Amino acid sequence: MSTQHLPHPVLPFKYPSSSSTSSISKDSSKSKPWRPFTTNCCTVENQTVLGNFSRCRPTRSEFSKKIADQFPSFRRLSFSDLSSTSSTRITEDLAHSFGSGLHAFQLSELRAITQNFSNNFLLGEGGFGTVHKGYIDENLRPGLKAQPVAVKLLDIEGLQGHREWLAEVIFLGQLRHPHLVKLIGYCSEDEERLLVYEFMPRGSLENHLFKRISVSLAWGTRLKIAIGAAKGLAFLHGAETPVIYRDFKTSNVLLDSDFNAKLSDFGLAKMGPEGSETHVTTRVMGTYGYAAPEYVNTGHLTTRSDVYSFGVVLLELLTGRRSMDKTRPKIEQNLVDFSRPYLTSSRRLRCIMDPKLGGQYSIKGAREIAALALKCVSLNPKDRPRMPAIVQTLEGLQNLRDMAITNGQWPASATPKSGKNGANVKGRREVRAGTHWKPSPLAPSRKG
């Protein structure tokens, strides 16, 4: 089954994001005004943290069997506590389960630190709501240091928003790692649902790769980001019960001031298979261009599904192209399909390297990453490497200095040079700044 025949699942929130990539979702991807949560009940299926929701009220035993066993510290929370009329009880149970690890904020506090969610403090918006910058001073809460924060207001008009809110609290309330964004607290007041995260000053990887106004990321910085994101996924997959991230993409990789990568937005995360099970079966959700084909076609989800998505992001880091780009010629719109013929030869690979790098990249490093990406996006999930092996491979490329531009491996005209009136100087092959030199991938060439 192709992605075109799928229903339109929920557009995951992007912080901050302007991606035109369509999501595999049932809800509209248009930004919606913040509205109160009005759904009456919710349920769980198939080992997911708040899996697929229905209109019936689940029993306490269903929760105990499916969720509490996977989250021992969360045993007190019952699905009867998750209805729209029990926000006070939700807050009490979350506070009991996470203690001082998470702060239960009052809505008035969050209004104050964001100047009533002013548009002047808007960081981003998506199908699930808006994110605003706020600043916590030392007087707001005892034991909470003064710091900037990002406050996400979830539009929970439908079931998906409430599920994502609670999934994020459950996962990030228990998972702590240098390459996962830190959840500071939450707010469940009346019918409002909000989340408070550490502020990531450099925004998302998506913005740095694809925004025209952004300065191009240097090769070393791209490699650092890839390693950090890989470590985050390796941590999730290495848990006693693996956590499948399910929505790995550039807009969900956030960057701190030193370009350290941290994974964000765990609303679609799911507990992996246990015991003799090889996969979990779930409703197909995620983002077109990043979702593994076997997951799109069957709903079978494994950690290897995340590996596929990671391979797509590696290709985006190499090429500066989006995973799906409808503005390009049809043959180039799907990055994985377009790039495959170029990934097995250094000579061909340089034809699709991001021109913004201007040849300032390691020849060997690019070749190794291309080979790694090709393994990650293999159509056979068993042929994909595991995340610890990916981390090891990437870390081994950090000290390479064989730059393409200094080794004669970058077309001279591919490096933008200013001539009179700022015009590009023509070389042996004319390549305008911001475009790719593209011979046919099927043309014969010597092995590079």
- Model confidence over 158-186: pLDDT tens digits? 556 677 788 888 888 888 899 999 999 99
Closest CA to 312 of 219, 225, 391, 248: 248
Whether the pLDDT of residue 353 is over 60: the answer is: yes
Specify which of 25-34, 226-235, 298-307, 407-416 reaches the highest per-range mean pLDDT. Answer: 226-235
Q: Give residue limits of the domains in the chain.
A: 87-198, 203-407
Beta-carbon-side half-sphere exposure of residue 246 (alpha carbons within 13 Å) = 33
pLDDT of residue 143: 76
pLDDT in tens, 12-32: 333 344 444 455 653 333 433
- Is the distance from CB of 84 to CB of 62 less than 8 angstroms? no
pLDDT of residue 279: 67
- Is the distance from CB of 163 to CB of 266 less than 8 angstroms? no
pLDDT in tens, 45-85: 333 333 332 222 333 333 333 433 444 433 333 333 343 43
The share of the chain scoring above pLDDT 70, in percent, equals 64
Report the pLDDT averaged over residues 189-202.
Answer: 90
Report the pLDDT averaged over residues 136-155.
Answer: 86
Task: Give the architecture (CATH level 2) of 203-407.
Answer: Orthogonal Bundle (1.10)
pLDDT of residue 34: 34
Annotated binding site for ATP: 152
pLDDT of residue 275: 52
Give the predicted TM-score (pTM) of the model.
Answer: 0.74
Which top CATH class is 87-198?
Answer: alpha beta
Mean pLDDT of the chain: 74
d(CA 350, CA 368): 13
Whether the pLDDT of residue 205 is over 90: the answer is: yes
Q: 87-198 and 203-407 share one CATH topology?
A: no
* Weakest-pLDDT range from 321-330, 372-381, 416-425: 416-425
Count the Cβ atoms, other than its own, within 10 Å of residue 206: 24
Catalytically active residues are 247
